[in-house]
Amino acid sequence: MRFLTAVAVVCGLFFSNFLPVVAESSQLVWPKAFKPAFLNVNLVRNINLEKAYIRETINVVVQNIEKQPQRDYFLPFPSDVVPNIGGLEVRDKNGPEKGRLRLELSEIDPSSNTQFYVIHLPEPLAPSSQITLSISYYILSALHPLPKAIRQDDRQFLTYSFSAYALSAYTTVDQKTKIKFPSVNVPDYTVTSGLKSGSDPEKQGSTYTYGPYSNIAPRKFYPLNVRFAASYPVLVCSLLERDVEISHWGGNLAVEERYWLRNSGASLSDHFDRVSWMMKASPSSAPLRVLKYPMKPGSVDPYFTDDIGNVSTSNYRPGRSGREAHLELRPRYPVFGGWQYSFRVGWNNALSSFLRKSSSETFVLKVPFLEGPQNPEGIQYEKFVLRIILPEGSKNVRYEIIESVNNGLPNTVQIKSNISKHRTFMDTVGRTVLSLSVENLTDAARDSQLVVTYDFPFVETLRKPLTISSGLLAVFVTAWVVSKLDVSIRKR
């Protein structure tokens, strides 16, 4: 409860980037044409701060209060938060097996600082009927270090700002918010005033509960701030390029991933002291020390290089008896806050483990959509580009993404696809490449699978040996012609 004390106020003034507490609720500017048609009977919001990105889930019981059936439920977000939202999905909580509900992002209203996602219900909701919606999403780049710079052995603290009320376009009868912290070390947090009787929030271990609150008007906003200890790096990958190359002749599936990684946590106020770093077994600061890669069974020939060359500080344990292989990589230096590290990782797999033949000319490839490191703190990807490099002559390429429950993938409309050509050694027309790109992705999407179907006629299998044979024949013919030339010098 110390946040409102004089000591906390002084600390808040000292650390200028920690937002001050606003005791009175406020409202966001709302589009004028909007008319609410639903009532939130009960809303429970869960905020998880255990990773380097925010995971929010909302379960809300929605009731139609109009006299006509309604199908469109409006989900608002502040306009400055929308670009950082990833993996937004909405399901019918009583029928999650039905899949995601269709979403559309509304156009920006210049007169409002709020933007809507329009949720299309599976069927129009009759008057006075109810449906329970399960809404989940990730918010990237929402955690900020406080203080921004620390000494090498100091503990890192992160801050997060949000509202006690879940932003809604509709009146909410009952609501509460639960926050899960990575530890019980939460030195500063907002204590509300006048929102409910008793203490607010209520603490139980590392979980804080704000509310319950009753009869909350639409657009209601009450700013909260929390500051908590975080012993993990805030890993952000500005770009991940993942290439999956298929070779029918070699029976091989080659994977290469290129990372541009940075730690957005607290930076160092002094120079890095390697001697002090080596002497302490477990420093309290939070740099990136190791990256852990679980690989599919049968993965072989891993390599790890950075801008300088091969990095030998790695440990590879091959998978046996159908088990996953494991690769642990240690960068050349601990990646502290504000530092960057770019590198590439690659490995090979037997193609038979991922490719099936469905007809005489049609093949089906099933590969992980995203692999990459699986660290406890998680990784957020600002941009992810996946390239499936198919054999030369492949055509009629189709793809489908098979998602698991809560996989963190965005809507399919946010995944951009493109078919192009990629030419390499001894190619003629070039290999067919399926490129997929998406923004605001998290490592929660690791369980998703990409299924690619393509046609590869038998005659195309002869293209490579014919190209090689033609090349060798051209070399021999050229050598024979050159040998027959008379280049001697003599009198005429």
Q: Are residues 70 and 206 in the same domain?
A: yes
Q: What is the 3-state secondary structure (H, E, C) of the chain?
A: CHHHCHHHHHHHHHCCCCCCCCCCCEECCCCCCCCCCEEEEEEEEEEECCCCCEEEEEEEEEEECCCCCEEEEEEEEECCCHHHEEEEEEEECCCHHHCCCEEEECCCCCCCCEEEEEEEEEEEECCCCEEEEEEEEEECCCCEECCCEECCCCCCEEEEEEECCCCCCCCEEEEEEEEECCCCCCCEECCCCCCCCCCCCEEECCEEEEEEEEEECCCEECEEEEEEECCCCCEEEEEEEEEEEEECCCCEEEEEEEEEEEECCCEECCCCCHHHHHHCCCCCCCCECCEEEEECCCCEEEEEEECCCECCCEEEECCCCCCCEEEEECCCCCECECCEEEEEEEEEEEHHHCEEECCCCEEEEEEECCCCCCCCCCEEEEEEEEEEEEEECCEEEEEEEECCCCCCCCCHHHCEEEEEEECCCCCCCCEEEEEEEEEEEEHHHHHCEEEEEEECCHHHHCHHHHHHHHHHHHHHHHHHHHHHCCCCCCCC
Beta strand 340-350 with 144-145: parallel, antiparallel or unpaired? unpaired
Q: Are residues 358 and 451 in the same domain?
A: yes
Contacts of 424 (CB under 8 A, 6+ apart): 431
Q: Are residues 203 and 273 in the same domain?
A: no
Q: Are residues 223 and 240 in the same domain?
A: no
Q: Are residues 322 and 434 in the same domain?
A: yes
CATH of the domain at 193: 2.60.40.1730
Instruction: Work out how many domains the chain is built from and give that number.
Output: 2
Domain-embedded: residue 110: yes
Q: Are residues 198 and 301 in the same domain?
A: no
pLDDT tens for the chain, 492 residues long, are 344 333 333 333 333 333 333 334 445 566 666 778 899 999 999 999 999 999 999 999 999 999 999 999 999 998 888 889 988 989 988 887 778 888 888 777 777 788 888 899 989 999 999 999 999 999 999 999 999 998 888 899 999 999 999 999 999 999 999 999 999 999 999 999 888 888 889 999 999 999 899 999 998 889 999 999 998 899 999 999 999 999 888 899 999 999 999 999 999 888 888 877 777 755 556 888 889 989 888 888 888 888 887 777 778 888 776 788 888 888 888 899 899 999 999 999 999 999 998 888 899 999 999 998 988 889 999 999 999 999 888 889 999 988 765 567 877 777 899 999 877 766 667 789 999 999 999 988 888 889 999 998 766 566 667 677 777 888 888 888 887 787 777 665
Looking at 211, 229, 247, the residue that finishes a domain is 229
Q: How far apart are CA 329 and CA 373, in angstroms?
A: 9
Domain-embedded: residue 182: yes
Name the residue range of residue 241's domain: 235-462
Q: Are residues 283 and 212 in the same domain?
A: no
Q: Are residues 389 and 313 in the same domain?
A: yes
Looking at 229, 244, 261, the residue that finishes a domain is 229
Domain-embedded: residue 112: yes
Q: Are residues 208 and 277 in the same domain?
A: no
Q: Are residues 57 and 160 in the same domain?
A: yes
